[in-house]
Amino acid sequence: MKKHLNIPVFIPHIGCPNACVFCNQRKISGRTGFCIERIREELNTAFSTIDGTIPVQIAYFGGSFTGIDRADMTSLLTIANEYIEKGKCESIRISTRPDYIDREILDILRAYRVGTVELGIQSTDNSVLKASKRGHTAEDSFRASALVKEYGFELIGQMMAGLPLSSPEKERQTALDIVSMGADGARIYPAVVFDETELADMMKNGIYEPLTTEESAKRAANILSVFLEYDIPVIRIGLQAGETLISGDGVLAGGYHPAVGELAYALYFRRAIEKQLEHTETTGKMLTVFVHPSDVSKTVGQKGMNKEYFINIYNLAGFRVIPDGNLKKNQCRIDLHPRIK
């Protein structure tokens, strides 16, 4: 997957008449409507801060982009194309639902130089989709992803953990299904309970039990391991943190921790290290973990959580993480030896 710098433009919920139990789009994007000219102003401001060393995509997120009024959709695509014509932007990225994809829509997207389509698959288990009132089936996701790939777009699969009737096993299968769809990347969203949603009512009535922060990290780590096993880059874990989300305004429960992605990666590396420690005597020894330079903080974990874990659980004399540029991202190698006094 080619690396891009995304300039996010949040389009509110007007593109989707469906009412999923978890969705309160205003709480996520902070908007209830949008102004075409204001979006141009936002883009001008964003481009003024970019040095041009990394390819740029204008990314329309928030609502179901291909479900908004057709005139509004083409207006937004036209605006983005102005920046492509000026050489400031390489292509466009849009986010939408599987049931809002067909050949006519893809013809339009291709004509307006969209490069990436993100599909809100969420789950490939039909019982989970029905309980979440998602409004489409797993078959819609397979059909839409096949069309997106046929048309030559980059495909990003978005999925959620902790939805009603979901389980770690169902989420693993969803991740495997997204791999089989030919996804070029993925996003993992632990479910968040927003106020003024049906999910909030379900929680208050005891019908739904939200994930804790710890459970959200564990479930995300399970999914992450599947994608990384198949070399599928994970773009993000957890909702994009806008001001509304950071302040906690409107968030009642669930995987809303701002560092849930960091926590998930720490658990991923913890498991990878433990696998290498199987059947090994560790008491009193020094554990050195070598990882790609970009993975050092992920391996140490938030507030040194993995250092504390390994020293206490394995009775180590010490734990350290050392960068090794010869290793690939998300790989680790360990060295266990007596501590030199």
Do the beta carbons of residue 220 and residue 255 sit within 8 Å?
A: yes
pLDDT digits (tens, 9 = 90+) for 159-182: 999 999 999 999 999 999 999 999
Q: Using the predicted structure, report yes or no on whether residue 34 has a pLDDT greater than 70.
A: no
pLDDT of residue 341: 55
Q: Using the predicted structure, report yes or no on whether residue 326 has a pLDDT greater than 80.
A: yes
Domain with CATH 3.20.20.70 in the chain: 5-258
Per-residue pLDDT, averaged over 302-330, amounts to: 96
Q: Using the predicted structure, report yes or no on whether residue 13 has a pLDDT greater than 70.
A: no
pLDDT of residue 249: 61
Q: Using the predicted structure, report yes or no on whether residue 29 has a pLDDT greater than 80.
A: no
Q: Using the predicted structure, report yes or no on whether residue 242 has a pLDDT greater than 60.
A: no
pLDDT digits (tens, 9 = 90+) for 105-147: 999 999 999 999 999 999 999 999 999 999 999 999 999 999 9
Give the pTM.
0.91
Per-residue pLDDT, averaged over 22-47, amounts to: 72
pLDDT digits (tens, 9 = 90+) for 192-231: 998 889 999 999 999 999 999 999 999 999 999 999 999 9
pLDDT of residue 233: 96
pLDDT of residue 131: 95
pLDDT of residue 19: 76
Q: Using the predicted structure, report yes or no on whether residue 157 has a pLDDT greater than 70.
A: yes
pLDDT of residue 199: 93
Could you tell me which CATH number the domain at 5-258 has? 3.20.20.70
pLDDT of residue 52: 73
Q: How confident is the model at residue 37 (pLDDT cuts 50, 70, 90)?
A: confident
pLDDT digits (tens, 9 = 90+) for 257-303: 888 999 999 999 999 999 999 999 999 999 999 999 999 999 999 99
Q: Using the predicted structure, report yes or no on whether residue 246 has a pLDDT greater than 80.
A: no
Do the beta carbons of residue 156 and residue 187 sit within 8 Å?
A: yes
Question: What would you report as the CA-atom Rg of the chain, rounded to the nearest whole angstrom?
Answer: 21
Q: Is 85 exposed, middle or buried (0-12, 13-18, 19+ CB in 10 A)?
A: exposed
Q: How confident is the model at residue 69 (pLDDT cuts 50, 70, 90)?
A: confident
Q: How confident is the model at residue 247 (pLDDT cuts 50, 70, 90)?
A: very low
Average pLDDT over the chain, rounded to an integer: 90
Q: Using the predicted structure, report yes or no on whether residue 28 has a pLDDT greater than 50.
A: no
pLDDT digits (tens, 9 = 90+) for 85-99: 999 999 999 999 999
pLDDT of residue 33: 54
With the CA atoms of 137, 209, 220 and 308 taken in that order, what torsion angle do they form, in degrees rounded to the nearest 10?
-170
Q: How far apart are the first and last CA of the chain?
A: 47
